[in-house]
Amino acid sequence: MFIDMVEAVEQKEYDLSSLSTGIMAGAPCPIELMKKLVHKLHIKDITIVYGTTENSPATCQTAMDAPLEKRVSTVGKPLAQTEVKVIDEFGKVTPVGEKGELCIRGYCVMMGYWNDPEKTREVLGDDRWYKTGDIAIMDKEGYVQIVGRNKDIIIRGGENIYPTEIEQFLYQHPKIIDVQVIGVPDRRLGEQVCAWIKLKDGETATPEEIKQFCNKKVGKEVSYTTLYGVYNILVSSLFYLVLSWTHTQVVTRCGHISSIRSLTGGAPIAHCIENKSLVCGPDSESYKPKQQQNH
């Protein structure tokens, strides 16, 4: 909806100057879209809400008085009585600034999936931490960036690539209104990166133009190297590029594509001194959820 609103204003189809606030929720919001909402639609008090159905459903929200950069690039901080942490594949809390799976704990977390104990055990442990399946980064202030989904990772030649990061980068192109990135099979590398791109009404662009934009902006750390095909779909402004995504520095992964974003709690932040990581919310050792009674 917000994408259509921005496009309508850019095309001078409607006057939306009376808008002052709004709520962004339901799907990850591109940073570039948030900037347009603030600067072009002048919705300066817009707020982002993050959550899942399993968490009743809101967990985090941006504050209207937070710095603009935090408001456009994060999902804010956890709501009251909610804990947030980011863990690695072994279940350990990640160091500050490193990717991991976002976990939630608090009164908002569900008791379990109806008549499905096996699925419940997959996402909810005895300690009541719920594994969201979302990949996130937490900074030293507790702000957390959602960078993708666990199951959405593209593995190209052994490298993990997060579609959300590539999408955030491509949204910066002035002719692109929407983009979705997926993995497609590749005989040699296992998977390649495929970007479905929708251009703004009246705009045209060639695959080579998109490639040049990527090479110029991303620089030497990450670059597009091979174009495999362009296909016209039902709408003339919609096409996809299958691109080879090359890392020339192992330490960068995909981290240089989008700016560091984040999320965390309104409750105290418990620092894990040993590995310089942190958990948001009440001190986890003393936190014991109350047993709910059946009525």
Bond preceding residue 57 cis, omega within 30 of 0: yes
pLDDT exceeds cutoff 90 at 105: yes
Q: What is the pLDDT of residue 217?
A: 60
What does the alpha-carbon distance between residue 128 and residue 288 come to, in Å, rounded to a whole number? 9
**CA distance readout (Å), 51 to 12, 17, 26, 58:** 34, 29, 8, 4
What is the rounded CA–CA span in Å between residue 79 and residue 56?
12
Confidence of residue 244 (pLDDT cuts 50, 70, 90): very low
Is residue 198 within 8 Å of residue 237, measured between CB atoms? yes
pTM of the model: 0.62
Which of 283, 262, 277 is closest to 94 using CA atoms? 277
How confident is residue 226, by pLDDT bands cut at 50, 70 and 90? very low
Q: How many helices (H) and strands (E) does the chain have?
A: 6, 16
For the chain, the domains span 2-143+261-286, 151-252
> What DSSP string describes 98-136?
-EEEEEEEETTS-S--TT-HHHHHHHB-TT--EEEEEEE
pLDDT of residue 294: 42
Domain 151-252, CATH homologous superfamily name and number: ANL, C-terminal domain (3.30.300.30)
Torsion angle (degrees, nearest 10) of CA 91, 93, 99, 101: 50
142/187 Cα distance (integer angstroms): 41
Q: Which amino acid is present at 263?
A: L
Determine whether 128 is exposed, middle or buried from the number of CB atoms within 10 Å of its CB (0-12, 13-18, 19+): middle
CA angle 164, 168, 169 (to 5 degrees): 120
Alpha-carbon distance values, 37 to 17, 19, 75, 179 (Å): 11, 10, 15, 18
pLDDT band with cut points at 50, 70 and 90 for residue 241: low
What's the fold here for domain 2-143+261-286? Rossmann fold (3.40.50)
Check residue 12 and give left, alpha or beta (phi > 0: left; psi -120 to 50: alpha): left
Q: If you average pLDDT over every residue of the chain, what do you get?
A: 73
Nearest-angstrom CA–CA distance, 60 and 132:
13
Range name among 2-11, 121-130, 233-242 with the lowest pLDDT average:
233-242
What pLDDT is attached to residue 132? 94
Please tell me the distance from the alpha carbon of residue 128 to that of residue 150, in angstroms, as a whole number. Answer: 20
Whether residue 157 contacts residue 150, with contact meaning beta carbons closer than 8 Å, is answered with no
